[in-house]
């Protein structure tokens, strides 16, 4: 009877050990990193007519401020997006037979982001009815400081350059909806720009 009792104890012990070992085998898959949900406002636009050389429409959720201080010139503006910690910087130059210099500067400023960019695509702007011509640069890549830049000109008198920057180091995949939202605002600004 003692042998049966020992055998029963050993059987129970081995069963418990076997159950513990098989219970610990679980397929563990880590959850992907989550980000805060970003609620994007409805896009409405307001006219900005205070500039001396051009007018445009901007997002009603943004604030347009003239740039002041050292290095500022006539018709330089910062369009603030306080909810997204983003700014669009607009600069204006009067053309005096130096259009090639301005075009090269705009291209150089966009290509400065090449080390961090995975790609840079450009899109030509041709609005001959309003004499607005230019280029939009879409700069893609993780950690790119400026995901979009552009310039507009009438090719004889006016030149406007713009760039989107965030006031933090963006993880572009986490703020992709915000970038797309502001890009559509910039494209609206580009399409609404008219010379005075």
Q: What is the pLDDT of residues 61-120, one digit of tens each?
A: 999 999 877 666 789 999 999 988 999 999 999 999 999 999 999 999 998 888 888 889
The rounded distance, in Å, linking the Cα atoms of 59 and 74 is: 22
Give the helix ranges, DSSP H, for 49-98. none
Token pair 């090269």 is found at 104
- Whole-structure pTM value: 0.77
- Amino acid 9: pLDDT: 77
DSSP state of 117: -
Q: Which fold has domain 45-195?
A: Protein Transport Mog1p; Chain A (3.40.1000)
- The burial of 144, by beta-carbon neighbours within 10 Å (0-12 exposed, 13-18 middle, 19 or more buried), is given as buried
**CB neighbours of residue 3 within 10 Å:** 7
Name the more confident of 150 and 144: 150
178-195: pLDDT as tens digits: 889 999 999 999 999 999
- Domain spans, the chain: 45-195
> Going by C-beta distance under 8 Å and a sequence separation of 6 or more, which residues neighbour residue 58?
45, 46, 48, 64, 79, 185, 189
Cα–Cα distances in angstroms (integers) from residue 145 to residues 13, 116, 151, 155, 188, in the given order: 62, 9, 18, 29, 22
pLDDT tens digits, 3-56: 556 767 777 878 877 777 666 556 667 777 665 666 777 889 999 999 999 999
62 contact partners, CB below 8 Å, separation of at least 6: 79, 80, 81, 88, 185
pLDDT tens digits, one per residue of 123-134: 999 999 999 999
């Amino acid at each position: 009877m003692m042998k049966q009792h020992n055998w029963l104890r050993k059987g129970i012990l081995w069963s418990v050990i076997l159950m513990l070992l098989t219970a610990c085998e679980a397929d563990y898959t880590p959850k992907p990193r989550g980000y805060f949900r970003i609620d994007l406002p409805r896009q409405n636009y307001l006219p900005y007519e205070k500039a001396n050389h051009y007018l445009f429409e901007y997002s009603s959720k943004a604030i347009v401020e003239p740039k002041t201080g050292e290095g500022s010139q006539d018709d330089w503006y910062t369009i603030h997006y306080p909810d997204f910690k983003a700014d669009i910087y607009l600069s204006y130059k009067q053309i005096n037979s130096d259009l090639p210099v301005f075009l090269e500067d705009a291209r150089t400023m966009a290509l400065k982001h090449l080390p961090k960019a995975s790609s840079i695509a450009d899109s030509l702007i041709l609005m001959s009815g309003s004499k607005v011509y230019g280029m939009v640069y879409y700069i893609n890549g993780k950690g790119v400081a400026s995901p979009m830049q552009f310039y507009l000109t009438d090719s004889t008198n006016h030149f406007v350059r713009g760039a989107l920057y965030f006031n933090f180091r963006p993880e572009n995949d986490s703020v992709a909806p915000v970038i797309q939202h502001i890009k559509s605002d910039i494209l609206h600004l580009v399409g609404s720009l008219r010379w005075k």
